[in-house]
Structures are given as structure tokens and as C-alpha cells.
Amino acid sequence: MVVVKKVKQESILPSVCEDEGENEEDFRGIAIRPASRPRSLYSRGSVNGQRYSTKEKNENDYVLDERPPFDPTGHLCYREACRMLNVIPVSHFLRNINQSELNMMHCGLGTQGNKALAVALETNTSILKLNLGDNSMEGMGGADIAGMLKENCYITEIDLSENWMGENGSRALAGILLENTVLLSLNLSGNHLDEHAARHLAPALTGNQKLQHLDLSHNKFGDMAGKILGAAIAENTAMKSLNLAWNCIRGKAAIAFAKGLGGNVFLRTLDLSYNGLGKEGAIALEEALKHNNTLEDLNIGYSKIAYLEGAIHFALGLKVNTTPRILKMSRNPMQSAGCFTILKSVQVNPESVIEFLDFTDICVDQEFEDFFNTMKDTLPNLQVEHGGKIKTAPKKVLNFIQKHVIWTIYLCHPCGQLKG
């Protein structure tokens, strides 16, 4: 701000200066105008698609009509946007606006509060990691955040989980993923995303070659979504970790997704737990593991891989794969025999690098324990977690149970006699 002169407002024209003792040449080429509000700073931003700016100065001061200073934090834009949208500024945001990491989770922003925040973040150059989880922004809020990410070239990690964005929010964010080349991590967990959202996200996953970590857990992806996302994963060349836990990927969808996994040579971490892969999924994963040579961390816990049959198919793929380090198969009804089969496939693979096997909530027998103890010499770093050892009843108790069962059958037989 450049102060030219203090004089009475009514004595000066907007573009001509005439006063005693002053030379017109001193103001040649300078347009001056009166100010009407107290002195303050400039702020600029946009609300509802309209640009705005505030200019406040001391009364009777005349200033050059110059460009306002750049606001690298967005502090002034945020306050002005809150005033225009009639929302209360969040003090936590104002206190931490200069930090590289900002956690705004559970702040109850809503759609309007989120809009004001997005205005400020457009020009912010400090925040690199942002958490906006559980703020009820819905589809409209997702669109505002997408618009912000189009302008902001500093944020590399953003958490938008539990915001009920649905298809509208996913459509806006998918469009930005095709343009944004800075974002490395995106969390969309718990946003009620379904097959329609998958149709928007699939082209983004295929076209974006910068995003490395994506969380789509706790959504509604079903059979069609599994096929769509599976094909997109096969084409992606940047993704390192993908979380699809707590969805409805099963049957044919599991097969299609496993085929996509087999074609991907960049993914390092995959979470498919709580999806009900079943026997078909286990067979598909067998083929995927035979071709994939990059996956290091796989979680297929609670995937309904039943007893020995499903475990055998998965173990055949694990038998030839040399990259997995962590394998989680907790809460699958494959019993001790299934766990033994998985452990045996690790033992017969001379190039196996597995360090941790998770069989949580699956009880194992003494045979499994004995076999694991023999492997400690060849694989000293291998750790196995299970649901405890099955307690074998004493021999006297077993004999009593056997006799009791025989007498029950004898008494219940219509002829009163035992067969054979």
C-alpha cells in the first residue's frame, strides 16, 4: 500500500489532483481514489464460483490501485469465506495452518464448513498431509475438495474417509486424479461407494500413474465393481498398496480381481480381508500368485477359505511364489489341516522369504506345532501366530466317550442291536 496524501475527500476528484503547494506533475500517471473502511490487509478467494477480494484502508488515505499481496497460508481467504458462507471459523485450522500435517478429523465441518476450508487450501503452500475424515461433506463436499486439489500442488496425502460422498463425490475426485500429478495417497474408506462409483474410478486408476496408495475399504463394491476394478488394477503401473477390505467381492468378482492382480507387476500390499473369496477366490489366487512376482504383503483374512480344499489351492500358488513376506489368513474355517498345508508350502519352497504367517482365531494341533519347530533351523526368522493349540483329551476320557456313544446308538436302534 502506498500513501499519496491525506486531504479532505470532497476536495479531490478520482483522477485529478489540484491543491495549493502541490504540482500536478508529481502525480502524473497515478490514479488515486478515496478509501472508505479502516486499514487492513487484502484477501482474495472464491465462493460459489465467484471471485471476491477485500480491500480495507484508513479513512482519508489514498492508495495506489495495486495487486494485493499473496497469502501463502489462505488465512485471510478462510476468514472471508466463513463470513460469506455464515459459518464459524475452526480455531484448530487457524492454529495449525502453517504445519506440514493437519488433522481435521471429526470436526463436524459439514458441506458449508468444508467449502470454506477448500477456498483457503487452494493457495496454502504449507500443508502436505491432510486428514478430513468423518466431516459429513457428502457429494457436494467431495466436489469442493476435488476443485481444491485442482489448484493446490502441494498436498501429497489426503484422508477423506467416512464422509458419505457416494457416486457424486467419487465422480469429481476421479476427474481430478486424471489431472493431479502430486497426490500420492488417497483414503476413500467408508464413503458408500458402489458399482457406479467404480465406473468413475476405473479410468482414473488406469490413467493416473502417480497415486501410490489407495484405500477403498468399508464400501459397497460388489460383483460388477470387482470386475471393473480388477481390469483397472491390471493396467495400473504406479499403485503400491491397495485396501479393499470389508466389501462384497466374491465369486466371479473375486476371480476377475485375481486375474487383474496376476497382471499387475507393481503392487506391493493388498488387503482383501472380509470379502468372502471362498473356493473360487482361492483357486484364482493360486493362478495369480504363480504369475505375480512383486506382492509382499497379502491379507485374505475372513475370506471363507474353507477347510483343506481352499487352502490347498492357495498353497500351490504360494509354493512357487518367492516374494510374499507377510501372509494373513486369520479367521478362515480351514482348521489345523489347512494351516499345516500353508506351512508345508513355505517349507518346500527353497526361495521363500515369508517372515510372518497370521492364523489368528484358528486352533492348531500338536502335529502343526511339531512341524513348525522343525522349520526353525531353516527359517529362524519365521513367526507364526494362531488361535492356540487344540487340547487333546486324556485316554481315559476318550474311552469313556467312545463307550457312551456306542451304548447310545445301541439303545436308539429300532431293533435294539448294533449293525456290524
**CA-based nearest residue to 329, from 359, 304, 306:** 359
The Cα–Cα gap between 365 and 382 comes to 19
Strand-strand pairing, 213-215 and 32-34? unpaired
Phi-psi region of 22 (alpha: psi -120 to 50; beta: other; left: phi over 0): beta
Residue 86 near residue 115 (C-beta atoms within 8 A):
no
Residue type, 281: G
**CA-based nearest residue to 362, from 306, 283, 313:** 306
**CA 65 to chain centroid:** 46
The Cα–Cα gap between 391 and 67 comes to 80
Under the banding of pLDDT at 50, 70 and 90, the label for residue 18 is: very low
Task: Kindly tell me the number of DSSP H helices and DSSP E strands found in the chain.
Answer: 13, 15
Structural domains of the chain sorted by starting position, each given as residue range(s) with its CATH number in brackets: 9-64 (no CATH), 71-192 (3.80.10.10), 222-420 (3.80.10.10)
The Cα–Cα gap between 401 and 100 comes to 67
Each residue's pLDDT tens digit, 354-392? 999 999 999 999 999 999 999 988 889 999 999 998 866
| Burial category of 46 from C-beta neighbours within 10 Å (exposed 0-12, middle 13-18, buried 19 and up) | middle
Q: Which cell numbers hold the place of 237?
A: 503401473
Each residue's pLDDT tens digit, 333-359? 988 999 999 999 999 998 999 999 999
Q: Summarize the confidence of residues 9-31 as an average pLDDT.
A: 42
Q: Is the dihedral of CA 232, 233, 234, 236 positive or negative?
A: positive
Could you give the angle at the alpha carbon of 173 between the alpha carbons of 172 and 174, nearest 5°? 90
Task: Give the mean pLDDT of the chain.
Answer: 82
Residue 114 near residue 142 (C-beta atoms within 8 A):
no
Quick one: pLDDT at residue 145? 97
- Report the 10 Å Cβ neighbour count for 186: 23
Asked if residue 394 has pLDDT above 90, the reply is no
Each residue's pLDDT tens digit, 76-135? 999 999 999 999 999 999 999 999 999 999 999 999 999 999 999 999 999 999 999 999
Lowest mean pLDDT among 11-20, 149-158, 243-252, 320-329: 11-20
Under the banding of pLDDT at 50, 70 and 90, the label for residue 396 is: low
